[in-house]
Structure 1
Amino acid sequence: MGDIDAAAPRISYVIAGSEATGGAGLQVDLRTFQQLGVYGVGTITCIVSFDPKAGWGHRFVPVDPEVIADQIEAATSAHELDVVKIGMLGTPATISVVADALARQTWRHIVVDPVLICKGQEPGAALDTDNDLRSEILPLATVITPNLFEARTLAGMESIEKVDDLKEAARRIAALGPRYVAVKGGMELPGDDAVDIVYDGTDFTEFRAPKIGEQRVAGAGCTFAAAITAELAKGAEVLDAVRVAKEFTRAGIVRSIATNAPQPSIGLA
């Protein structure tokens, strides 16, 4: 991975969607970076605004690919960026422009939070997006951080109900190209503990902590991947970065913020 100049400022870059309530997406990523002591730079790929008049459904608006390319050009020209988190991309055109931009330089680490389907998308477009993410983005990843739904989809599994299933999903996803797969059991995996499995292509490492409450918290997945990104930017090894990210995310869930939306948002203040 190479040595890092201890005197140089740590910078983390994120390419992701904006979520207007502040409970997920780029807003959470940049807050996480700041909380963990790195300077955050961000490129917006799409805008998601929940509709309170329609059951808090998603309103999804993609950013023009040329505008995304312009943002990436500005960010990578202004800063020496070598660690990036990829969040919601949203369309095949966005995936293509991001993949092309990533290929233009060498990255020390690429962290992929594989946001697959947004409820504001048509099913056909969502499937195209999923397929392109598999083929164009996943092979570039140092770490990918799927939740249970994303892991089932990427691994082609009907269900994930126990730790051995997490491991099997991780094996299958690793075959798509990422160097490390961190499958998150979260609230949906049966049992008293929130279990995450990290697979490096050879060995499995299990991270376990008691579940908090009975409700999913918006932004937890974004926070987890962003925290891994921040720690990698500071020079941590992958497993150490995951350990810090799990502890940091758990603390945020404990401080979750009540909102009028259906789920509380993770608290990072």
Structure 2
Amino acid sequence: MDEQFTQALSIAGSDSGGGAGMQADLKTIQERHVFATTVLVAITAQNTLGVDDFVALSPKIIDEQFAAIANDLQIRACKTGMLADVTRVETVVKNLKKYNMGPLTVDPVMIAKGGAPLLSEDAVAVVRDELLPLATVATPNLPEAEKLADMKIQTEDDMIVAAKRLQQIGVKNVMVKGGHFVSDDQSSDFVLLEDGKSFWLSAPRVDTVRTHGTGDTLSACITAELAKGHTVEDAIRTGKKFVDATIRDGIIVGHGHGPLNHWAYRKVENDEI
């Protein structure tokens, strides 16, 4: 039998506007030359202006999606995005323990770009206590890191403390994203690796509202790189460059928080890699 093409899995919600969630994951993983598969957890009705509504899928169909993938495909890395509520988080955790889906990247999605909640308050503790200890990489933004680490983050030193707290919870590698520091002309993220190595990744901040799906895109790119066998550090560095390119070379879609340009990184690869 011929060797299987590299495959990765996104466990997330659907964004009808196409900019974030499952749709951003599929576009990103495809752009990284990896075959993308999906376990759909929730369906949202949203566009660039915001989230109008969402429906979480039944645990039964989530279980069946996992089983269908495990029975046929060879997943080498996976990621989580929107998980909606306690029931869905617990269902996903159960399946991640049951099946070997490779290294796990957790994007602890809690709030949409427009402010709509995408994770119930009571599910935050389940994400922290049950999902994060399974993660190879976690990529919280500042509000998410504050909730998961149970602290206020107002400085870069606070980001370092939060990363250490998340690692103590059980996450092997942590990337705390600093994009919410709007006063800074740089978007700087702090990375703490399992072996104790740490570093900052920075890129010039772009004055744009077209940043819908940045967290999904970053975590999906990291997942694709891990599926290809790259190290965590290399996967994170590629993810940062990929997202930076999608923002800098933007496209105009919709009238609110617009989506990224998911094929922009091809130019970076051709020019720099």
Residue deviations 1:207-230, cap 9 Å, x none? Answer: 111111153610111100000000
Question: Are the counterparts in 2 of residues 117 and 130 from structure 1 also a CA contact under 8 Å?
Answer: no
For the pair 1:44 / 2:40, whether they are aligned, the reply is: yes
Amino acid at match of 2:184: G
Q: Greater shift after overlay, 43-52 or 230-239?
A: 43-52
Counterpart-to-counterpart distance in 1, 2:241 and 2:100: 30
Match of 1:181 in 2: 174
Indicate whether 1:234 and 2:225 are aligned: no
Corresponding residue of 1:155: 149
Q: How far apart are residue 192 of structure 1 and its match?
A: 1.4
Match of 1:146 in 2: 140
What is the one-letter code of the residue matched to 2:174? V
> What's 2:52 paired with?
58
Q: Distance in 2 between matches of 1:193 and 1:262?
A: 23
Structure 2 counterpart of 1:221, one-letter code: G
Q: What displacement does 1:78 show?
A: 1.5
Deviation at 1:264, TM superposition (A): 1.4
For 2:63, the equivalent position in structure 1 comes to 69
- 5 Å matches for 1:1-269? 8-50=4-46, 56-117=50-111, 126-158=120-152, 160-188=153-181, 190-201=183-194, 202-215=196-209, 217-269=211-263
TM-score, length-normalised on structure 1? 0.89
Displacement of 1:189: 5.0
Between 1:259-268 and 1:36-45, the stretch displaced more is: 259-268
Taking the aligned partners of 2:210 and 2:139, their CA distance within structure 1 comes to: 17
Q: Which amino acid aligns with 2:214?
A: A
* Structure 1 residue 180, shift from structure 2 partner: 0.3
Q: Does the residue aligned with 1:215 lie in a helix, a strand or coil? A: coil
Provide structure 2 residue ranges, at least 5 long, that are not aligned to the other structure: 264-273
Range with bigger deviation, 88-97 or 109-118: 109-118
TM-score scaled by length of structure 2 = 0.88
Please tell me whether the aligned partners of residues 117 and 126 of structure 1 are also in contact (alpha carbons under 8 angstroms). Answer: no
Any conservation in 2 of the 1:162–1:189 contact (CA below 8 Å)?
no
Q: Which amino acid aligns with 2:20?
A: A
Contact in 1 for aligned 2:50/2:116 (Cα 8 Å): no
Q: Distance in 1 between matches of 2:183 and 2:155?
A: 7
Conservation of the 8 A alpha-carbon contact between 2:75 and 2:102: no
Q: Tell me the secondary structure at the aligned position of residue 120 of structure 2.
A: helix
More moved, 171-180 vs 112-121: 112-121
Q: Distance in 2 between matches of 1:188 and 1:60?
A: 29
Which structure 1 residue ranges, 4+ long, deviate > 3 Å from structure 2? 55-58, 117-122
